[in-house]
Amino acid sequence: MPSSTAEAGQRIETREHSGLAALGADEWHATLKQLASRADADPAVAREVVRRLHAGLLTMRDMRLVLLATGHLSGWQSARRAVIDALADDPETARHVLVLHTQIELLPPPQYEQIQQPQPGASAAYAARVGPADAQVTGPAQQARTSREAKDRAALALLARLAGVTPPGQMPAQTAERLVLPGMLTEAFEQRLLKALKAGQEPGAELEAEALHRAGAGRLRHRDMYLLLLDARGETWNRVRMAALERAAAMPPAPAQLLHWYAEQHGDPNGLSYQEELDAREGRHRVRARLQLESTRTGPVRSAWSRKTARHYASCALLAELAGLPEPEPQTEDKRVEPARLSLPAKGQDPVKTLNKHYQRELISKPKATLRSLGSRVECTYTSQHRDSGTQVQATAAGPDKEAARRAAALKLLHKLHSVDVAALRSSASSRRAGQAASAVPETTPAPAPAEASASADRIERPPLQPQDHHPVAWMRDALAAGCPLMLEITDGAGPAAWWVHDSGLRALPMTDLPAPLAAGRTTAGAAGWRLPLGFGLPVVHQLGAGAHSSAVFWQRAVHIALQLVKAKLVYPALDEGERAVWRAGPLPASAEEALGALAEAAPPAAIPSGMAAWQALTACCDAVADTLVRTPAAALFGAGPWTASAPAPVSAETERTVRDWLDGVEDQADGGPAPQLILRVQSPSDEQAAAGRLTADLHLAPAGSSPDASGEVPAARVWAGTARLEGEGAGVLGPRVRRALRRAARRCPALAGLAGEDSPQRCTLHSGAITVLLEQEAELAEAGVRVVWPERLRTALSAAAVVGTAGASPNAGGPAVGERPRFSVTALLDFRWQLALDGADLTEEEMDALAEAARPLVRIRGQWVLADPVIARRARHRLLGQLPGTQALTAALTGTVTVAGDTVVCRPSGPLADMIDVLRRGEHHEQTVPAPAGLTASLRGYQQRALTWLAHTTRLGFGAVLADDMGLGKTLTALAFTLHHQQHTPGPALVVCPGVPGDHLVPRGRPLRPPPAGHRLPRQRPHPRGGHRHDPGRHHLRPAAPRRRPPRGTAVGPGHRRRGPARQESRLLHGPPAAFPACGHPPGLDRHPGREQPLRAVGAARLDQPGPVRAAENLPLPLGQHR
């Protein structure tokens, strides 16, 4: 309302800037509206604009005000620049902001002028134009690949020029002067008008000119008319007020709307009514407008050929009286038309649509349908009133389902209304002929008084109700005894429940001087009656007297059931949709459910509020009775709190967080069963929907606790329509449970708030923000009982895997050259990054960059629309994860998984690391078989040949190897063959580590295979301290006589080698070789010598920090199946 706007502005002016961040959306917008009429810049508000913009809290209304209402504030340049930069990322929103501006300013929609010759590389070019028809401004032309994109950019460029900001894509030096639209912004005009009226000032030349211009151009809004006509006073305002009245007279809905607002401001939303009659002689409608407030004010009679035009004329006349201005000339044309008559539907037409069409033509009142179940059939009752005759008509029919019953009842009602219409037409024609005949005879009787002429033709004279007692309970008891229908008014959180007594009984109800809290009013259909709070009327309804209407008897039985539930202590605390503390009745025992079900089937049409099922109304009555009776004065003895207060009130956020989970559990137990599994099925979008960033989701229901692949899922729309049931339960039982589950889910995911607020939730539209929230909170929603099902290819086409290893050309398969280090080193650092793929095919860097820069979750890649969830988008933006040491990289590549930020993800190798892993996985089955070396005079068996291949390829990669065949399979020959092969590719000495006895056999066998070079000597035997001789296990080593410090190129470790201490020469020898040379170990007969297994491992562990001379089988990063 206009006055509430002024009060809101006053509150905003007094608010400190330190609380700007805590303002809600409406209060924040009101704060921005104040800027339109201020001359000083407020840096605190400007900073808050930027903060809300970055947080995504700035609406299109706010953006419009920042861009177009702050041009006179120099300190707001940065805020306008920030908004333009944000719109540059989403040009489509810029076009919506421009359209919103024209709608608020009542201007023609934006126009786009096409440029015939766009520059090369663009297929379309447009310039945006906006403003009044006589003073339009045009922005710079913009071009793009498509017309839609070019129009979006043109709208953005025009907004930038209107805001005085450099359009995107232009240098500051290229910017032309700021474009200015003529006149004031609507917000500026409203603020200045409110300020002048509040201060009691004159309008002033500028404000007066703007008001006259808006009135003449048809841009004066209803709220401005209200302020000018009913708030402004003084002769200096008369010119502007008269222009506003003439403008209202030219807009048929405006006068009635202003009078309705006036009635609301004075406490009665239904205070405006009309007295109508049809002139039988002329066939014109004669109407008076009447305001029934503290005092009744009735306007003069106005007539027209149509009822709608006559009402408009009567509203204009009464509005002029209220404003104290002369009534303007009629601004709308009054054509004489033949009266519309009721027609019957043709064969194949829907009777329900025909009935609604007659209502829209004002031939009948709004049809009201009431349904009830009759076993396997459904009964429908339609009620409507014939306008001209005032006859109330009712028809009842049954059918196999709701739709069939509605059509049958509507057709039956149409036949009855048609009969009434024909009779009324004949009566009107007879009256007109009689009037014409009477007009030819001189009048001998006086003309009727004006009051008699304006009386309503359809009014039935009834004796008034005259209660003897002045108590409201006595008044209600007398009204029900007079046969007045009774209905329980359910307000859905807007206020306490109340009884509504219709003024259609045997006696007329007085509408003035009523004892409080009894109040007179009208329903939305215009029916008069009384309203009494539920608690005051309970004693009357509980003990009805004789003559009560059937609707009152119906509610008496409902109250009896509710009282029995309260007596049995079947009540529990809860929070309603408005987060208010309430009491509800439950859990309902089987006997109570059966009684309420039978009562709902027998509900009379007049007892149930419009648009509400009988079962829903009865359960709401039980809840309202429980809440009223628990909140007695004695409830204060249990302490002060929201559930012991005298009336329901919202609970604090802290209280809500404390009791929410407990209340949910109580509600589940009291409801008689858990909520069904909710399934939000997202539909595959069309190209237009995907381009706009929208998805449509349908709500489906499944049995509670069912698995995703279980059957029994049904669409919620079919359940609400009554054509399907879930496990035998219909909409009456499932509706509250589904709404309860959606409300709980909306607390976790605000994107479902709109769906949770619907009475029959079945479908919702998801925009970009809601899609992102659903993707992020999909797991939390599943815990809350809401499963989101995405289109398969839309959701799973994009994937991300961790890739380790530097990408590049495959290395030479022949191994490192002489003097090179092996390809793999535990100390090496390898690249670790994310790689995105579409249907398994890797995306290019350019495609991943485009995905990272996308502002919406719906992205088009390679001609396919896909969903990039926040995890995928984050991985696309931050693809490089760092570097991994060689051991970790090798482990990740071999296992195929790696842990990133606590999550185990798929990992695969890349580049040379991938080639190395391939060699390791092939093992002895490498396609490049290593032949026996030329210096080997023996023949190798097949398994020895494969062992040689495996040893050669594995050691080339920089790994050691353990040849652990059984005894007698020729490990020594294989090791000698490998030593010769290695020396052919990498010349140099070889170190053989073996026990003494095998060494005596090894050296003679090795001499003919590979003669020692000149100057080398073999170790000798030395006496044992206790007698005899022993072989030195670490001294079978071919080494030069000269003291050169050249490391051996290979090591062969024989069986039974023991490490006797770090001071021994053989131990120093084992530690001496550098970390880069390969090693081959062949411990024979480990099954025969289990005690020697540990010494071998100890030797192998000597240099595990780097690839050393010996690697034990358990320490190799290979599967055990490949260890020979």
Beta bridge mates, 1051:
991, 1079
Q: Which of 670, 698, 722 is the last residue of a domain?
A: 670
**61 occurs within a structural domain:** yes
538 and 640 part of one domain: yes
At position 504, the amino acid (one-letter code) is S
**Are the C-beta atoms of 786 and 752 separated by less than 8 Å?**
yes
**pTM of the entire structure?**
0.41
What whole-number percentage of the chain has pLDDT above 70?
A: 77
- Of 790, 787, 587, 785, residue with least CA distance to 704: 785
- Of 794, 773, 898, residue with least CA distance to 838: 794
Mean pLDDT for all residues in the chain = 75
Report the alpha-carbon distance of residue 88 to residue 157 in Å, rounded.
9
3-state secondary structure 932-992: CCCCCCCCCCHHHHHHHHHHHHHHHCCCCEECCCCCCCCHHHHHHHHHHHHHHHCCCCEEE
- If one compares 991 and 324, the residue with the highest pLDDT of the two is 324
pLDDT of residue 1025: 47
Residue showing tokens 């909140």? 631
Strands 392-399 and 377-385: antiparallel
Q: Which of 883, 901, 918 is the last residue of a domain?
A: 918
Report the alpha-carbon distance of residue 191 to residue 457 in Å, rounded.
47
For 791, the token pair is 């289109």
430 and 476 part of one domain: no
**Are the C-beta atoms of 122 and 94 separated by less than 8 Å?**
no
pLDDT of residue 1112: 30
**Are the C-beta atoms of 1072 and 1051 separated by less than 8 Å?**
no
**195 occurs within a structural domain:** no
Report the alpha-carbon distance of residue 300 to residue 381 in Å, rounded.
40
**661 occurs within a structural domain:** yes
Name residues whose C-beta falls within 8 Å of residue 865's C-beta, 6 or more positions apart in sequence. 685, 687, 690, 794, 858, 859
378 and 407 part of one domain: yes
For 729, the token pair is 């339960």
- Of 954, 961, 1115, 930, residue with least CA distance to 1051: 961
pLDDT band for 169, please (50, 70, 90 cuts).
low
pLDDT 10s digits, 560-591 = 999 999 999 888 888 876 778 888 888 888 88
**Are the C-beta atoms of 297 and 290 separated by less than 8 Å?**
yes
- If one compares 1083 and 348, the residue with the highest pLDDT of the two is 348
970 and 1086 part of one domain: yes
870 and 967 part of one domain: no
Report the alpha-carbon distance of residue 596 to residue 590 in Å, rounded.
10
pLDDT band for 525, please (50, 70, 90 cuts).
low
92 and 12 part of one domain: yes
- Of 418-422, 779-783, 1019-1023, where does mean pLDDT reach its minimum? 1019-1023
Report the alpha-carbon distance of residue 89 to residue 864 in Å, rounded.
22
Vertex 392 angle, CA 388 and 395, to 5°: 125
Q: How many domains does the chain have?
A: 7
Residues in the chain: 1124
944 and 1092 part of one domain: yes
21 and 69 part of one domain: yes
For 372, the token pair is 């009830």
C-alpha distances out from residue 688 to 125, 314, 695, Å: 21, 48, 10
DSSP character for 709?
Answer: T
**458 occurs within a structural domain:** no
- Of 295, 399, 417, residue with least CA distance to 355: 417
DSSP character for 227?
Answer: I
Strands 880-885 and 829-838: antiparallel
Beta bridge mates, 292:
296
Report the alpha-carbon distance of residue 131 to residue 128 in Å, rounded.
11
**Are the C-beta atoms of 300 and 320 separated by less than 8 Å?**
no
Helix (H, G, I), strand (E, B) or coil at 284: coil
Report the alpha-carbon distance of residue 65 to residue 308 in Å, rounded.
38
For 400, the token pair is 């196999």
Beta bridge mates, 991:
1037, 1051
- Of 103-117, 847-861, 1101-1115, where does mean pLDDT reach its minimum? 1101-1115
pLDDT 10s digits, 355-381 = 998 888 888 888 999 998 877 788 899
**Are the C-beta atoms of 100 and 67 separated by less than 8 Å?**
no
885 and 991 part of one domain: no
What whole-number percentage of the chain has pLDDT above 90?
A: 4
Report the alpha-carbon distance of residue 827 to residue 210 in Å, rounded.
79
- C-beta neighbour count of 122 within 10 angstroms: 15
**Are the C-beta atoms of 443 and 373 separated by less than 8 Å?**
no
pLDDT of residue 823: 58
- Of 805, 803, 800, 804, residue with least CA distance to 876: 800
Read off the CATH number of the domain in which 48 is found: 3.30.160.20
pLDDT of residue 1070: 41
Report the alpha-carbon distance of residue 1002 to residue 1013 in Å, rounded.
17
pLDDT of residue 199: 84
Report the alpha-carbon distance of residue 571 to residue 352 in Å, rounded.
42
**286 occurs within a structural domain:** yes
- If one compares 427 and 478, the residue with the highest pLDDT of the two is 478
Counting Cβ atoms within 10 Å, is residue 418 exposed (0-12), middle (13-18) or buried (19+)?
middle
**Are the C-beta atoms of 378 and 401 separated by less than 8 Å?**
yes
Mean pLDDT of 890-894: 79
Beta bridge mates, 502:
529
Report the alpha-carbon distance of residue 793 to residue 690 in Å, rounded.
14
Per DSSP, the residues of 25-39 read HHHHHHHHHHHTT-S
Question: What's the distance, Cα to Cα, between the start and end of the chain in Å?
Answer: 90
| Enclosing domain of residue 865 | 795-918
Residue 999 confidence (pLDDT) above 60: no
Beta bridge mates, 831:
883
pLDDT of residue 560: 93
At position 787, the amino acid (one-letter code) is R
- Of 897, 1053, 882, 923, residue with least CA distance to 975: 1053
**335 occurs within a structural domain:** no
Report the alpha-carbon distance of residue 744 to residue 748 in Å, rounded.
7
pLDDT 10s digits, 203-244 = 888 888 888 888 888 888 888 888 888 888 888 888 888 988
Mean pLDDT of 895-904: 80
957 and 898 part of one domain: no
pLDDT band for 1121, please (50, 70, 90 cuts).
very low
**Are the C-beta atoms of 636 and 644 separated by less than 8 Å?**
yes
pLDDT of residue 648: 82
Q: Which of 918, 934, 950 is the last residue of a domain?
A: 918
**1075 occurs within a structural domain:** yes
pLDDT band for 107, please (50, 70, 90 cuts).
confident
C-alpha distances out from residue 964 to 406, 768, 1093, Å: 88, 62, 11
Counting Cβ atoms within 10 Å, is residue 862 exposed (0-12), middle (13-18) or buried (19+)?
exposed
pLDDT of residue 339: 63
- Of 358, 369, 367, residue with least CA distance to 397: 369
Beta bridge mates, 114:
126
Read off the CATH number of the domain in which 1117 is found: 3.40.50.10810
pLDDT 10s digits, 381-440 = 999 988 877 788 888 888 888 888 999 999 999 988 888 877 766 555 555 444 444 444
**333 occurs within a structural domain:** no
Counting Cβ atoms within 10 Å, is residue 829 exposed (0-12), middle (13-18) or buried (19+)?
middle
- C-beta neighbour count of 272 within 10 angstroms: 24
558 and 635 part of one domain: yes
1004 and 1104 part of one domain: yes
pLDDT band for 755, please (50, 70, 90 cuts).
confident
Residue 547's φ and ψ, nearest 5 degrees, are 85, 10
